[in-house]
Amino acid sequence: MNNLLNIKSFLKFLSRNKGYTTIDVFGLSVSLMFVILIAVYVERELNIDKQQANYDRIVALGCEHFLGTGVPVAYWLEERYPEIEKVCPMVSDQSMGHPIFYGEKKYTADLVYVDSTFFDVFSFKVLDGNRERLLDGVNDAVVTETYARKLFGEENPVGKSIRISDSTSVTITGIMEDVKRSVIPNVDLLLRIERVAEFNSALSKTSAGNAGSCIAFMLLKPGADLKARTDDILSFFKERFWLYKEGFAKEVKIVTIPEMYFGKWQYTSLNSGDRTFSLILMSVGILVLIFAIINYINLTVAQAGQRAKEMATRRLLGSSRMDLFLRLMMEATLLTFISFALGLLLAVAALPYARDLLQVPLTFEVLATPLWGVAIVGVILLTGVLSGLLPAILISSAKPIDVVRGTFRRQTKMVFSKFFITFQNVITIAMVAVSLTMYLQIDHMIHAPLGYNTTNIIESDNSFRSKSEMERAEDLLRQLPMVKAFGHTNGTPSSGTNNMSGTYENKSLSFQQMQVDSAAFRILGFELKTDNRLADSDGGWFLTELAFKQMELPEDAHSFKWGEDATPILGVIKDFQLWDISRSNSPVMLRFRDPKSSWNPWSYVIEVQGDPVKAYESVRKVFEEVSGIPFEGQFIDQGIQEHFESQIRLAKIVVIFACIAILISLLGLLAMSTYFILQRSQEVAIRKVFGSDNRGILVRLVGTFLMYVGVAFVIATPLSWYFMDKWLSDYSYRIALTPLIFIAAGLFCLLISFLAVFFQSWNAANANPVESVKNN
């Protein structure tokens, strides 16, 4: 009964102090919303593929450069090492979507080629079909649940045939659950690994020529340690595998699932995560929660005089100091519980935005588990204890005589709050400086000169089924006034090229090869340094300056000998950057192709003019009208920006948290300044009686708070400078840290603090001293 009365009394106090209640509940609710969303995200990241029954026994093969190998390599290892129970090489189609035909309908699908052992190695649920025999036949295929509904509607797809690229067909033998929370990328259709050669002739079970596109999954026997055999595997590869024989790779890595996901691979076709990103996200979320806790402590301590009267009365009526302490702790926990409930509702509302920002399919299903229930109770209790401990100690220890005399109120003013306000300002200045630095660095990389044209150029896969479809689409493109020109390519600098590695003059070299027609060459704006004006016979190539340099060719060289025959050098092209500026550049060999020949280009580059949105829509309609499948082209500069997606996401998140931290800090400072100035109103009145003018008093009141910003700036600047300097060191192309970034952050925080305290200070400075003395 007493507890119920105590709760009613606290709720009555909250209703009478609406400003105090609003700021506390808002700060805690918003910060707990972020904590909930971050916790769900981090839980997902740390439990990728934990649903696999063989989670601890699944490994993959990699080297120091990338996570991948040739298709037959897994079978070589299976034959040689008894530690391996089964292997499952996997190739993920990295194109924008493969054409799929069912009857007269056209679709696109993400294809993944796997061995028949796939469902022995992985534990994905099979919803229809015989799990033991799903991929027995070379023409068998398994469809995922969502794609089955898209393709077949309410029909049962098992036993039905579909065509792929209008050139081959497969039979659906089963339906599997959608691939989620896995290193394996999105799957619409699983096909047998033997079929991959039909779509990429460089890949097959008998050739290890393409050494990076296949993931060699291996299921180890219980207790086996294949990592202990890496030296022996390396010796074996140096004898049999060209990647190691020719010195392109020097290390063998046996990689577990967490290492697959969190490893910072230069290239992998698997889904990947960023452990540092998760840690930063978690740290920033905790900081925002600390802000809210600090606000609660500050405001409760500021209210100490008022609450102390109530507690003094209870002490006189027989309550012990421990009773009062426990009561105040219960109040803090109750407020935290209310805030958590509101925070959960806010998290549900913000879930779609969080999914879009983090680019992962977040759900709250995990919150219903017993373990998470215990964790939630623990967070509420911990937050309640941290919020209420200091105010409870302070207020419950107040002596009734001090409260009656009014000395307790003067004792509590700003004693604890000075430190907390300074701490909040340190974090705010640091987060603003971090946000500015990240924005400037990312903008610097996105707009870096790449050595070719990127503006107003759409790049699209060649999704047409025949030469006649290509010709029809091109006729329609020529009729569009917004299309200036279009060309054909096999590879572009922004989306990828074909790798060609080998030995030249006893040196292991790796080149990127591009084939373009003359229109694409002009659109992309490649610049010839020298033109040897040789006939463009088969086998002739242009070399970039970097390729010329790495081959150590003399300036007047007109050919180079790769293998048995001499290859003509058609000229030298000025270097251009592949992918984006953050990556090490590679040498390029480029060849012209005649669009009227039998050449089947991979993609189109289309230069547009006028309104880019309208131009894109016009091009999209042409492609979709002719091909019958969704258009997935994009502007090259947009694609380059997407290369920095993880950095942009991190910067956005830091900006969001910085804004929330600023808002919580602003509200807390507003409330604190109100209570502080109210406490000093008698002092202000006395100063005015003794001749102080309004302006001097205003400067004194405002200056008291701005002084904390100055102290915070001195602390925050070296800290944020140190961490940003370390962050920038990961980029070879980076901005220079300048004092202006940190001065801007400090001035911004100073302005926010000034606005928060100015109006209360102005009112106090201009108040009638008689009224101030009466009220005190």
Reported as a pLDDT band with limits 50, 70 and 90, residue 514 is very high
Which of 77-81, 353-357, 409-413 holds the top average pLDDT?
77-81
pLDDT of amino acid 230? 95
Reported as a pLDDT band with limits 50, 70 and 90, residue 361 is confident
User: What kind and span of H or E run contains 759?
Assistant: helix 739-765
- What residues contact residue 611 under an 8 Å CB cut-off, 6+ apart? 482
The position carrying tokens 């309208």 is 614
- One domain for residues 246 and 310: no
- One domain for residues 241 and 282: no
- One domain for residues 562 and 593: yes
- What residues contact residue 3 under an 8 Å CB cut-off, 6+ apart? 330
- One domain for residues 705 and 717: yes
Token pair for 144: 């995922």
Task: Using alpha carbons, list the distances in angstroms from residue 448 to 9, 279, 444, 579, 634.
Answer: 62, 29, 6, 12, 19
- One domain for residues 400 and 470: no
Could you say which of 575, 604, 636 is where a domain stops? 636
Residue 394 Ramachandran class (φ > 0 left, ψ -120 to 50 alpha, else beta): alpha
- Residue 594, pLDDT above cutoff 80: no
pLDDT of amino acid 741? 94
Which range (195-199, 230-234, 752-756) has the least confidence?
752-756
Give a yes or no: residue 116 inside a domain.
yes
The H-assigned helical ranges of 317-360 are 321-358
For residues 528-547, average pLDDT: 79
Reported as a pLDDT band with limits 50, 70 and 90, residue 108 is confident
More reliable by pLDDT, 560 or 520? 520
More reliable by pLDDT, 141 or 602? 141
End-to-end CA, the chain:
36
Give a yes or no: residue 268 inside a domain.
no
HEC sequence for 247-268: CCCCCCEEEEHHHHHHCCCCCE
CB 123 within 8 Å of CB 179: no
- Residue 464, pLDDT above cutoff 60: yes
More reliable by pLDDT, 293 or 352? 352
Of the candidates 283, 291, 285, the one whose C-alpha atom is nearest the C-alpha of residue 421 is 291
- Residue 694, pLDDT above cutoff 90: no
Domain that holds residue 551: 457-636
- The residue ranges of DSSP E strands in 71-160, in sequence order, are 84-92, 98-102, 105-109, 111-114, 126-128, 140-144
pLDDT of amino acid 577? 93
- Residue 546, pLDDT above cutoff 60: yes
- One domain for residues 549 and 696: no
Give a yes or no: residue 88 inside a domain.
yes
- One domain for residues 27 and 88: no
More reliable by pLDDT, 321 or 551? 551
More reliable by pLDDT, 498 or 67? 67
Of the candidates 600, 578, 335, the one whose C-alpha atom is nearest the C-alpha of residue 465 is 600
For residues 719-724, average pLDDT: 92
Measured distance CA(572)–CA(512) in Å, rounded:
15
- One domain for residues 287 and 221: no
Reported as a pLDDT band with limits 50, 70 and 90, residue 91 is very high
For residues 127-142, average pLDDT: 93
pLDDT of amino acid 576? 94
pLDDT of amino acid 409? 52
Residue type, 767: A
Q: What is the pLDDT of residues 243-275, one digit of tens each?
A: 898 888 899 999 999 999 999 888 888 999 888
Measured distance CA(726)–CA(536) in Å, rounded:
49
- Residue 773, pLDDT above cutoff 50: no
Q: What is the pLDDT of residues 291-346, one digit of tens each?
A: 778 777 777 766 665 666 666 666 666 677 787 788 888 888 888 899 999 999 99
Q: What is the pLDDT of residues 366-411, one digit of tens each?
A: 888 888 889 899 988 988 888 888 777 777 776 665 555 555 554 4
DSSP structure string for 593-611: --TTSS---SEEEEEE-S-
- One domain for residues 653 and 524: no
Give a yes or no: residue 527 inside a domain.
yes
DSSP structure string for 503-563: EETTEEEEEEEEEE-HHHHHHHT--EEEE------TT-EEEEHHHHHHTT--TT--EEEET
State the pairing for strand pair 161-164/498-504: unpaired
Helix/strand/coil percent split, the chain, to 5: 55, 15, 30
Measured distance CA(167)–CA(197) in Å, rounded:
13
Could you say which of 231, 262, 293 is where a domain stops? 262
pLDDT > 70 fraction of the chain, expressed in percent and rounded: 84
Measured distance CA(163)–CA(198) in Å, rounded:
13
Measured distance CA(571)–CA(240) in Å, rounded:
36
pLDDT of amino acid 768? 55
- Residue 598, pLDDT above cutoff 70: yes
Reported as a pLDDT band with limits 50, 70 and 90, residue 637 is very high
Give a yes or no: residue 269 inside a domain.
no
- One domain for residues 584 and 664: no
Dihedral of alpha carbons 281, 287, 290, 292, sign? negative
Give a yes or no: residue 350 inside a domain.
yes
Of the candidates 342, 609, 572, the one whose C-alpha atom is nearest the C-alpha of residue 457 is 609
For residues 399-428, average pLDDT: 64
- What residues contact residue 372 under an 8 Å CB cut-off, 6+ apart? 366
- Residue 233, pLDDT above cutoff 60: yes
For residues 751-772, average pLDDT: 66
- One domain for residues 126 and 233: yes
Strand partners, 143: 175, 189
Of the candidates 52, 77, 406, 509, the one whose C-alpha atom is nearest the C-alpha of residue 256 is 52
pLDDT of amino acid 681? 57
Could you say which of 611, 636, 661 is where a domain stops? 636
- Residue 19, pLDDT above cutoff 60: yes
CB 34 within 8 Å of CB 346: no
CB 84 within 8 Å of CB 221: yes
Measured distance CA(661)–CA(650) in Å, rounded:
16
Give a yes or no: residue 486 inside a domain.
yes
Of the candidates 492, 481, 549, 483, the one whose C-alpha atom is nearest the C-alpha of residue 517 is 492
> What's the mean per-residue pLDDT of the chain?
84
What count of residues does the chain have? Answer: 776
Give a yes or no: residue 366 inside a domain.
yes
pLDDT of amino acid 622? 95
Strand partners, 89: 216
Number of domain units in the chain: 4
CA atoms within 13 A on the CB side of 707: 8
- One domain for residues 541 and 507: yes
